[in-house]
Amino acid sequence: MAPGHDIYALKDDTIPAQRQILVDTGIAIGLARGRYGRRAARSPMASNPGIGVGGGVIDADYTGEGKVILQKRGTPVTN
């Protein structure tokens, strides 16, 4: 069983080259004291050098929406 969950954007958007955007997810979570959440890329996104995931740590006392920073760094790998 995988420890993570897939998160999806509420709407489609475009990331301009060499820029980043803040993506709404519509998700809020509650974490136990002494714990934290983490946003991270999973395959196949992690193997794509063109898109990165930022804003990784969610503190236990954070109560807002869990938004995600997506960064367009370069050209994706093609086979």
Q: Which residue has the tokens 């193997």?
A: 47
Give the side-chain half-sphere CA count within 13 A for 35: 6
Residue with tokens 């109560």: 63
Structure tokens at 26: 């519509």
pLDDT at 51 over 90: no
| pLDDT, averaged across the chain | 84
Q: Specify the pTM.
A: 0.74
Q: How far apart are CA 73 and CA 45, in angstroms?
A: 13
SS3 at position 31: coil
Q: Which amino acid is at 64?
A: G
Average pLDDT for residues 46-70, to the nearest whole number? 84
Going from N- to C-terminal start, the domains of the chain cover: 29-72
Question: Per the structure block, which two tokens stand in for 5?
Answer: 């969950």
Report the percent of the chain where pLDDT is more than 70.
Answer: 84
Q: What is the pLDDT of residue 2?
A: 75
Q: Which residue has the higher pLDDT, 17 or 11?
A: 11
Identify which of 37, 4, 21 has the alpha carbon closest to the alpha carbon of residue 12: 21
